[in-house]
Amino acid sequence: MWVSSVWRATLSPGRRAHSALAQLRGIVEGELEGIRGAGTWKSERVITSRQGPCIHVDGISGGILNFCANNYLGLSSHPEVIQAGVQALEEFGAGLSSTRFICGTQSIHKNLEAKIAHFHQREDAILYPSCFDANAGLFEALLTPEDAVLSDELNHASIIDGIRLCKAHKYRYSHLDMADLEAKLKEAQKHRLRLVATDGAFSMDGDIAPLQEICSLAARYGALVFVDECHATGFLGPTGRGTDELLGVMDQVTIINSTLGKALGGASGGYTTGPEPLISLLRQRSRPYLFSNSLPPAVVGCASKALDLLMENNAIIQSIAAKTRRFRSKMEAAGFTISGVDHPICPVMLGDARLSSQMADDMLKKGIFVIGFNYPVVPKGKARIRVQISAVHSEEDIDRCVEAFVEVGRLHGALP
Protein backbone atom coordinates (compact mmCIF):
# COMPACT_ATOMS: atom_id res chain seq x y z
CA MET A 1 0.00 0.00 0.00
CA TRP A 2 2.83 2.42 0.93
CA VAL A 3 4.67 1.71 -2.34
CA SER A 4 1.51 2.24 -4.36
CA SER A 5 0.85 5.56 -2.62
CA VAL A 6 4.38 6.74 -3.23
CA TRP A 7 4.14 5.69 -6.88
CA ARG A 8 0.93 7.65 -7.37
CA ALA A 9 2.39 10.68 -5.63
CA THR A 10 5.39 10.67 -7.97
CA LEU A 11 3.29 10.56 -11.14
CA SER A 12 3.68 13.68 -13.23
CA PRO A 13 0.61 15.93 -13.64
CA GLY A 14 0.35 14.82 -17.26
CA ARG A 15 0.35 11.13 -16.35
CA ARG A 16 -2.19 11.69 -13.55
CA ALA A 17 -4.47 13.49 -16.01
CA HIS A 18 -4.07 10.62 -18.48
CA SER A 19 -4.93 8.14 -15.73
CA ALA A 20 -8.06 10.11 -14.80
CA LEU A 21 -9.11 10.24 -18.45
CA ALA A 22 -8.58 6.49 -18.80
CA GLN A 23 -10.74 5.95 -15.71
CA LEU A 24 -13.46 8.19 -17.16
CA ARG A 25 -13.38 6.30 -20.47
CA GLY A 26 -13.75 2.99 -18.68
CA ILE A 27 -16.73 4.20 -16.65
CA VAL A 28 -18.52 5.80 -19.60
CA GLU A 29 -17.87 2.89 -21.96
CA GLY A 30 -19.31 0.54 -19.35
CA GLU A 31 -22.45 2.68 -19.13
CA LEU A 32 -22.78 2.76 -22.93
CA GLU A 33 -22.37 -0.99 -23.18
CA GLY A 34 -25.12 -1.41 -20.62
CA ILE A 35 -27.44 0.75 -22.74
CA ARG A 36 -26.65 -1.31 -25.84
CA GLY A 37 -27.09 -4.56 -23.95
CA ALA A 38 -30.51 -3.49 -22.69
CA GLY A 39 -31.64 -2.76 -26.23
CA THR A 40 -32.36 0.88 -25.37
CA TRP A 41 -29.67 2.54 -27.51
CA LYS A 42 -31.01 5.66 -29.21
CA SER A 43 -29.66 6.27 -32.71
CA GLU A 44 -30.15 9.55 -34.54
CA ARG A 45 -31.32 9.34 -38.12
CA VAL A 46 -30.06 12.16 -40.32
CA ILE A 47 -32.68 14.08 -42.32
CA THR A 48 -31.40 15.73 -45.50
CA SER A 49 -34.52 17.78 -46.28
CA ARG A 50 -36.80 20.27 -44.58
CA GLN A 51 -39.29 19.01 -42.01
CA GLY A 52 -42.64 17.91 -43.40
CA PRO A 53 -44.99 14.96 -43.97
CA CYS A 54 -42.49 13.54 -46.49
CA ILE A 55 -38.76 13.80 -45.80
CA HIS A 56 -35.47 12.46 -47.10
CA VAL A 57 -33.21 10.45 -44.81
CA ASP A 58 -29.47 9.98 -45.25
CA GLY A 59 -28.65 6.57 -46.71
CA ILE A 60 -32.19 5.82 -47.87
CA SER A 61 -33.37 6.48 -51.41
CA GLY A 62 -36.71 8.09 -52.06
CA GLY A 63 -39.13 9.95 -49.84
CA ILE A 64 -40.05 8.77 -46.35
CA LEU A 65 -43.36 9.48 -44.64
CA ASN A 66 -42.64 11.23 -41.35
CA PHE A 67 -44.86 10.20 -38.44
CA CYS A 68 -42.76 11.22 -35.46
CA ALA A 69 -42.37 15.02 -35.58
CA ASN A 70 -44.07 17.59 -33.35
CA ASN A 71 -44.99 19.48 -36.52
CA TYR A 72 -48.68 19.24 -35.61
CA LEU A 73 -49.96 21.94 -37.98
CA GLY A 74 -47.37 21.45 -40.69
CA LEU A 75 -46.26 25.08 -40.35
CA SER A 76 -42.51 24.41 -40.17
CA SER A 77 -42.43 24.30 -43.98
CA HIS A 78 -45.29 26.70 -44.69
CA PRO A 79 -44.13 29.18 -47.36
CA GLU A 80 -45.47 32.22 -45.48
CA VAL A 81 -43.75 31.12 -42.27
CA ILE A 82 -40.46 30.62 -44.11
CA GLN A 83 -40.76 33.99 -45.85
CA ALA A 84 -41.46 35.73 -42.53
CA GLY A 85 -38.27 34.20 -41.14
CA VAL A 86 -36.26 35.35 -44.15
CA GLN A 87 -37.68 38.86 -43.87
CA ALA A 88 -36.85 39.04 -40.14
CA LEU A 89 -33.33 37.77 -40.85
CA GLU A 90 -32.76 40.46 -43.46
CA GLU A 91 -34.27 43.27 -41.38
CA PHE A 92 -33.01 42.41 -37.89
CA GLY A 93 -29.91 40.28 -38.52
CA ALA A 94 -28.79 36.79 -37.54
CA GLY A 95 -28.80 37.36 -33.80
CA LEU A 96 -28.34 39.87 -30.99
CA SER A 97 -25.09 38.56 -29.46
CA SER A 98 -26.52 39.48 -26.09
CA THR A 99 -29.06 38.81 -23.39
CA ARG A 100 -32.38 40.63 -23.39
CA PHE A 101 -31.69 43.08 -20.56
CA ILE A 102 -28.29 44.17 -21.91
CA CYS A 103 -28.89 44.84 -25.62
CA GLY A 104 -30.80 41.87 -26.91
CA THR A 105 -34.41 43.05 -27.07
CA GLN A 106 -35.83 44.12 -30.42
CA SER A 107 -39.27 45.35 -31.38
CA ILE A 108 -40.11 41.94 -32.86
CA HIS A 109 -39.53 40.29 -29.45
CA LYS A 110 -41.94 42.69 -27.75
CA ASN A 111 -44.49 42.30 -30.55
CA LEU A 112 -44.40 38.51 -30.32
CA GLU A 113 -44.79 38.58 -26.53
CA ALA A 114 -47.85 40.80 -26.89
CA LYS A 115 -49.26 38.47 -29.56
CA ILE A 116 -48.73 35.40 -27.34
CA ALA A 117 -50.47 37.08 -24.40
CA HIS A 118 -53.39 38.05 -26.65
CA PHE A 119 -53.61 34.52 -28.08
CA HIS A 120 -53.81 32.96 -24.62
CA GLN A 121 -55.99 35.78 -23.24
CA ARG A 122 -53.42 36.59 -20.55
CA GLU A 123 -51.94 39.87 -19.32
CA ASP A 124 -48.34 39.47 -20.45
CA ALA A 125 -45.77 36.99 -21.78
CA ILE A 126 -42.00 36.46 -21.69
CA LEU A 127 -39.87 34.63 -24.28
CA TYR A 128 -37.19 32.03 -23.55
CA PRO A 129 -34.76 30.08 -25.76
CA SER A 130 -36.92 26.99 -25.18
CA CYS A 131 -39.82 25.82 -23.02
CA PHE A 132 -37.28 23.73 -21.12
CA ASP A 133 -35.75 27.08 -20.11
CA ALA A 134 -39.18 28.51 -19.31
CA ASN A 135 -39.81 25.60 -16.94
CA ALA A 136 -36.32 25.91 -15.48
CA GLY A 137 -36.84 29.62 -14.86
CA LEU A 138 -40.33 29.74 -13.37
CA PHE A 139 -40.41 27.82 -10.11
CA GLU A 140 -37.14 29.10 -8.62
CA ALA A 141 -38.11 32.72 -9.30
CA LEU A 142 -41.66 32.35 -7.97
CA LEU A 143 -41.57 29.91 -5.07
CA THR A 144 -39.73 30.16 -1.73
CA PRO A 145 -39.30 27.80 1.27
CA GLU A 146 -42.64 29.16 2.51
CA ASP A 147 -44.46 27.74 -0.52
CA ALA A 148 -45.45 24.36 -1.94
CA VAL A 149 -45.65 22.87 -5.42
CA LEU A 150 -47.81 19.84 -6.24
CA SER A 151 -46.73 17.99 -9.38
CA ASP A 152 -48.25 15.15 -11.41
CA GLU A 153 -45.86 12.18 -11.25
CA LEU A 154 -45.68 11.93 -15.06
CA ASN A 155 -44.94 15.58 -15.74
CA HIS A 156 -42.36 16.37 -18.41
CA ALA A 157 -38.71 16.18 -17.40
CA SER A 158 -38.32 19.95 -17.74
CA ILE A 159 -41.09 20.56 -15.18
CA ILE A 160 -39.46 18.09 -12.80
CA ASP A 161 -36.04 19.71 -13.25
CA GLY A 162 -37.49 23.18 -12.79
CA ILE A 163 -39.20 22.14 -9.56
CA ARG A 164 -35.93 20.65 -8.29
CA LEU A 165 -34.29 24.07 -8.60
CA CYS A 166 -36.72 25.79 -6.24
CA LYS A 167 -36.74 25.62 -2.44
CA ALA A 168 -40.50 25.12 -2.11
CA HIS A 169 -41.95 22.05 -0.39
CA LYS A 170 -42.53 19.40 -3.04
CA TYR A 171 -45.53 17.10 -3.29
CA ARG A 172 -46.03 14.53 -6.05
CA TYR A 173 -49.50 13.17 -6.77
CA SER A 174 -50.33 10.02 -8.72
CA HIS A 175 -50.91 10.53 -12.43
CA LEU A 176 -54.32 12.15 -13.07
CA ASP A 177 -55.45 10.99 -9.59
CA MET A 178 -57.68 13.73 -8.22
CA ALA A 179 -58.23 12.01 -4.87
CA ASP A 180 -54.48 11.94 -4.33
CA LEU A 181 -54.15 15.57 -5.43
CA GLU A 182 -56.83 16.58 -2.94
CA ALA A 183 -55.05 14.70 -0.16
CA LYS A 184 -51.81 16.49 -1.01
CA LEU A 185 -53.58 19.86 -1.15
CA LYS A 186 -54.98 19.26 2.33
CA GLU A 187 -51.49 18.41 3.55
CA ALA A 188 -50.06 21.53 1.92
CA GLN A 189 -52.47 23.99 3.53
CA LYS A 190 -49.80 25.07 6.00
CA HIS A 191 -47.74 26.70 3.25
CA ARG A 192 -48.03 30.27 1.93
CA LEU A 193 -48.52 29.70 -1.82
CA ARG A 194 -49.67 26.37 -3.25
CA LEU A 195 -49.06 25.77 -6.96
CA VAL A 196 -50.48 22.75 -8.80
CA ALA A 197 -48.23 21.93 -11.78
CA THR A 198 -49.30 19.68 -14.63
CA ASP A 199 -48.83 19.04 -18.31
CA GLY A 200 -51.95 19.87 -20.29
CA ALA A 201 -51.33 16.96 -22.66
CA PHE A 202 -48.80 14.35 -21.60
CA SER A 203 -46.31 13.80 -24.38
CA MET A 204 -45.53 10.11 -23.82
CA ASP A 205 -49.08 8.82 -23.38
CA GLY A 206 -51.27 11.28 -25.27
CA ASP A 207 -53.64 11.72 -22.35
CA ILE A 208 -55.03 15.04 -21.17
CA ALA A 209 -55.04 16.47 -17.65
CA PRO A 210 -58.52 16.79 -16.06
CA LEU A 211 -58.20 20.55 -15.76
CA GLN A 212 -61.80 21.11 -14.71
CA GLU A 213 -61.29 18.93 -11.64
CA ILE A 214 -57.80 20.34 -10.99
CA CYS A 215 -59.08 23.91 -11.12
CA SER A 216 -62.03 23.06 -8.89
CA LEU A 217 -59.73 21.54 -6.27
CA ALA A 218 -57.34 24.47 -6.56
CA ALA A 219 -60.18 26.92 -5.92
CA ARG A 220 -61.41 24.89 -2.96
CA TYR A 221 -57.97 24.82 -1.31
CA GLY A 222 -56.70 28.24 -2.35
CA ALA A 223 -54.09 27.06 -4.84
CA LEU A 224 -52.80 28.37 -8.17
CA VAL A 225 -52.68 26.28 -11.35
CA PHE A 226 -49.74 26.01 -13.76
CA VAL A 227 -50.08 24.14 -17.08
CA ASP A 228 -47.38 23.19 -19.59
CA GLU A 229 -49.10 23.34 -22.98
CA CYS A 230 -46.27 22.29 -25.31
CA HIS A 231 -48.30 19.42 -26.77
CA ALA A 232 -51.56 21.36 -26.91
CA THR A 233 -50.89 24.91 -28.08
CA GLY A 234 -52.10 25.48 -31.61
CA PHE A 235 -54.38 22.48 -32.09
CA LEU A 236 -56.38 21.56 -28.95
CA GLY A 237 -59.53 23.53 -28.24
CA PRO A 238 -61.93 25.09 -30.78
CA THR A 239 -59.40 27.79 -31.75
CA GLY A 240 -56.19 25.99 -30.77
CA ARG A 241 -55.60 27.84 -27.49
CA GLY A 242 -54.88 24.56 -25.70
CA THR A 243 -56.29 22.27 -23.03
CA ASP A 244 -57.60 25.14 -20.90
CA GLU A 245 -59.76 26.24 -23.85
CA LEU A 246 -60.69 22.64 -24.68
CA LEU A 247 -61.96 22.09 -21.14
CA GLY A 248 -63.42 25.56 -20.58
CA VAL A 249 -61.11 26.77 -17.79
CA MET A 250 -59.10 29.53 -19.47
CA ASP A 251 -60.06 31.96 -16.68
CA GLN A 252 -58.98 29.52 -13.95
CA VAL A 253 -55.44 28.57 -15.06
CA THR A 254 -52.98 31.10 -13.64
CA ILE A 255 -49.78 30.37 -15.56
CA ILE A 256 -49.11 28.75 -18.94
CA ASN A 257 -45.75 27.68 -20.32
CA SER A 258 -45.51 26.55 -23.91
CA THR A 259 -43.28 26.30 -26.94
CA LEU A 260 -42.73 27.83 -30.35
CA GLY A 261 -40.85 24.70 -31.40
CA LYS A 262 -43.77 22.39 -32.11
CA ALA A 263 -47.05 23.56 -33.67
CA LEU A 264 -46.07 27.24 -33.85
CA GLY A 265 -43.45 27.08 -36.56
CA GLY A 266 -41.31 24.24 -35.29
CA ALA A 267 -38.04 26.14 -34.81
CA SER A 268 -37.24 26.81 -31.14
CA GLY A 269 -38.24 29.10 -28.31
CA GLY A 270 -40.61 28.91 -25.37
CA TYR A 271 -42.58 31.28 -23.21
CA THR A 272 -44.45 31.92 -20.00
CA THR A 273 -47.73 33.80 -20.08
CA GLY A 274 -49.83 34.90 -17.12
CA PRO A 275 -50.35 37.82 -14.71
CA GLU A 276 -48.30 40.92 -15.55
CA PRO A 277 -46.62 41.16 -12.10
CA LEU A 278 -45.39 37.56 -12.42
CA ILE A 279 -43.96 38.20 -15.88
CA SER A 280 -42.22 41.31 -14.56
CA LEU A 281 -40.73 39.25 -11.72
CA LEU A 282 -39.43 36.69 -14.20
CA ARG A 283 -37.69 39.45 -16.18
CA GLN A 284 -35.90 40.41 -12.96
CA ARG A 285 -35.07 37.00 -11.49
CA SER A 286 -35.47 34.15 -13.96
CA ARG A 287 -31.96 32.86 -14.59
CA PRO A 288 -32.48 31.23 -18.02
CA TYR A 289 -33.96 34.54 -19.22
CA LEU A 290 -31.27 36.74 -17.67
CA PHE A 291 -28.29 34.66 -18.78
CA SER A 292 -29.31 33.40 -22.24
CA ASN A 293 -29.09 35.18 -25.57
CA SER A 294 -32.37 36.44 -26.95
CA LEU A 295 -34.23 34.41 -29.57
CA PRO A 296 -32.81 34.86 -33.10
CA PRO A 297 -34.92 37.24 -35.21
CA ALA A 298 -35.64 34.58 -37.85
CA VAL A 299 -37.17 32.31 -35.19
CA VAL A 300 -39.28 35.18 -33.86
CA GLY A 301 -40.47 36.04 -37.37
CA CYS A 302 -41.48 32.46 -38.13
CA ALA A 303 -43.37 32.03 -34.85
CA SER A 304 -45.17 35.35 -35.23
CA LYS A 305 -46.41 34.41 -38.71
CA ALA A 306 -47.46 30.96 -37.47
CA LEU A 307 -49.63 32.61 -34.82
CA ASP A 308 -51.12 34.94 -37.44
CA LEU A 309 -52.07 32.01 -39.66
CA LEU A 310 -53.61 30.13 -36.75
CA MET A 311 -55.67 33.11 -35.58
CA GLU A 312 -56.86 33.89 -39.12
CA ASN A 313 -58.28 30.43 -39.84
CA ASN A 314 -58.81 27.45 -37.57
CA ALA A 315 -59.80 24.99 -40.31
CA ILE A 316 -56.44 23.29 -39.90
CA ILE A 317 -57.43 22.37 -36.32
CA GLN A 318 -60.44 20.41 -37.54
CA SER A 319 -58.21 18.72 -40.12
CA ILE A 320 -55.76 17.33 -37.57
CA ALA A 321 -58.61 16.16 -35.33
CA ALA A 322 -60.22 14.17 -38.15
CA LYS A 323 -56.92 12.59 -39.20
CA THR A 324 -56.13 11.67 -35.60
CA ARG A 325 -59.45 9.84 -35.28
CA ARG A 326 -58.79 8.04 -38.57
CA PHE A 327 -55.40 6.72 -37.46
CA ARG A 328 -56.52 5.70 -33.98
CA SER A 329 -59.64 3.87 -35.14
CA LYS A 330 -57.84 1.96 -37.90
CA MET A 331 -54.95 0.93 -35.61
CA GLU A 332 -57.29 -0.23 -32.86
CA ALA A 333 -59.37 -2.15 -35.40
CA ALA A 334 -56.17 -3.88 -36.52
CA GLY A 335 -55.54 -5.04 -32.95
CA PHE A 336 -53.02 -2.50 -31.63
CA THR A 337 -53.34 -0.79 -28.25
CA ILE A 338 -53.15 3.00 -28.62
CA SER A 339 -52.68 5.06 -25.47
CA GLY A 340 -54.42 8.38 -24.83
CA VAL A 341 -57.68 9.76 -26.18
CA ASP A 342 -58.24 11.95 -29.27
CA HIS A 343 -54.74 13.44 -29.21
CA PRO A 344 -52.44 13.41 -32.27
CA ILE A 345 -49.82 11.78 -30.07
CA CYS A 346 -50.73 8.13 -30.67
CA PRO A 347 -48.47 5.78 -28.68
CA VAL A 348 -48.53 2.24 -30.07
CA MET A 349 -47.99 0.27 -26.87
CA LEU A 350 -45.65 -2.71 -27.26
CA GLY A 351 -44.10 -3.20 -23.80
CA ASP A 352 -40.75 -4.60 -24.90
CA ALA A 353 -37.84 -2.22 -25.61
CA ARG A 354 -36.17 -4.41 -28.23
CA LEU A 355 -39.47 -5.00 -30.00
CA SER A 356 -40.19 -1.28 -30.23
CA SER A 357 -36.72 -0.56 -31.66
CA GLN A 358 -36.83 -3.45 -34.12
CA MET A 359 -40.30 -2.59 -35.35
CA ALA A 360 -39.33 1.06 -35.81
CA ASP A 361 -36.32 -0.03 -37.90
CA ASP A 362 -38.51 -2.24 -40.06
CA MET A 363 -41.08 0.54 -40.46
CA LEU A 364 -38.33 2.70 -41.93
CA LYS A 365 -37.59 -0.02 -44.47
CA LYS A 366 -41.23 0.31 -45.53
CA GLY A 367 -40.90 4.08 -45.92
CA ILE A 368 -42.37 5.15 -42.56
CA PHE A 369 -40.27 7.22 -40.13
CA VAL A 370 -41.24 6.41 -36.52
CA ILE A 371 -39.16 6.03 -33.36
CA GLY A 372 -39.31 3.48 -30.55
CA PHE A 373 -39.47 4.96 -27.04
CA ASN A 374 -38.14 3.01 -24.10
CA TYR A 375 -36.54 3.45 -20.68
CA PRO A 376 -35.55 5.98 -19.34
CA VAL A 377 -37.79 8.09 -21.59
CA VAL A 378 -40.75 5.95 -20.52
CA PRO A 379 -41.04 3.52 -17.57
CA LYS A 380 -39.64 0.00 -17.89
CA GLY A 381 -42.17 -2.35 -19.44
CA LYS A 382 -43.96 0.56 -21.15
CA ALA A 383 -42.00 0.70 -24.41
CA ARG A 384 -43.91 2.01 -27.38
CA ILE A 385 -43.65 3.53 -30.82
CA ARG A 386 -44.99 7.06 -30.57
CA VAL A 387 -46.80 8.07 -33.74
CA GLN A 388 -47.64 11.75 -34.22
CA ILE A 389 -50.24 12.94 -36.67
CA SER A 390 -49.87 16.21 -38.57
CA ALA A 391 -52.53 18.27 -40.29
CA VAL A 392 -50.49 18.02 -43.50
CA HIS A 393 -50.65 14.21 -43.60
CA SER A 394 -53.10 13.05 -46.24
CA GLU A 395 -55.63 10.30 -45.60
CA GLU A 396 -53.57 8.14 -47.95
CA ASP A 397 -50.47 8.80 -45.82
CA ILE A 398 -52.31 7.64 -42.72
CA ASP A 399 -53.67 4.52 -44.37
CA ARG A 400 -50.19 3.63 -45.67
CA CYS A 401 -48.77 4.01 -42.16
CA VAL A 402 -51.43 1.71 -40.71
CA GLU A 403 -50.80 -0.90 -43.41
CA ALA A 404 -47.07 -0.85 -42.66
CA PHE A 405 -47.74 -1.27 -38.93
CA VAL A 406 -49.93 -4.29 -39.60
CA GLU A 407 -47.28 -5.93 -41.81
CA VAL A 408 -44.42 -5.24 -39.39
CA GLY A 409 -46.55 -6.14 -36.36
CA ARG A 410 -47.33 -9.56 -37.81
CA LEU A 411 -43.68 -10.09 -38.74
CA HIS A 412 -42.62 -9.54 -35.11
CA GLY A 413 -45.54 -11.33 -33.46
CA ALA A 414 -47.10 -8.13 -32.12
CA LEU A 415 -50.28 -9.04 -34.02
CA PRO A 416 -51.75 -12.48 -34.64
Q: Around Cβ 285, how many Cβ atoms within 10 Å? A: 13
Q: Are 222 and 356 in contact (CB under 8 A)?
A: no
**What is the C-alpha separation between 7 and 41, in angstroms, rounded?**
40
* 3-state class (DSSP) for residue 90: helix
Given strand 270-274, what is the order of strands in its sheet? 124-128, 270-274, 255-259, 224-228, 194-199, 148-152, 169-173
Q: Which residues on neighbouring strands pair with residue 55, listed in sequence order? A: 64
- At residue 111's C-alpha, the angle toward residues 109 and 112, to 5°, is 65
For 391, phi then psi, to 5°, come to: -60, -25
262 is an active site residue: yes
Q: Are 23 and 15 in contact (CB under 8 A)?
A: no
* Amino acid found at 229: E
Q: Which residues on neighbouring strands pair with residue 99, listed in sequence order? A: 293
110 is an active site residue: no
Q: Which residues on neighbouring strands pair with residue 199, listed in sequence order? A: 228
Q: Which of 203, 258, 294, 357 is catalytic?
A: 203
**What is the C-alpha separation between 169 and 143, in angstroms, rounded?**
9
366 is an active site residue: no
* CA proximity to 139, closest of 281, 276, 25, 248: 281
Q: Which of 120, 156, 262, 305 is catalytic?
A: 262
For 257, phi then psi, to 5°, come to: -110, 140
- Residues recorded for the chain: 416
Q: Which residues on neighbouring strands pair with residue 125, listed in sequence order? A: 273
**What is the C-alpha separation between 218 and 276, in angstroms, rounded?**
21
Q: Which of 231, 323, 330, 393 is catalytic?
A: 231
Supply the residues annotated as catalytic: 203, 231, 262
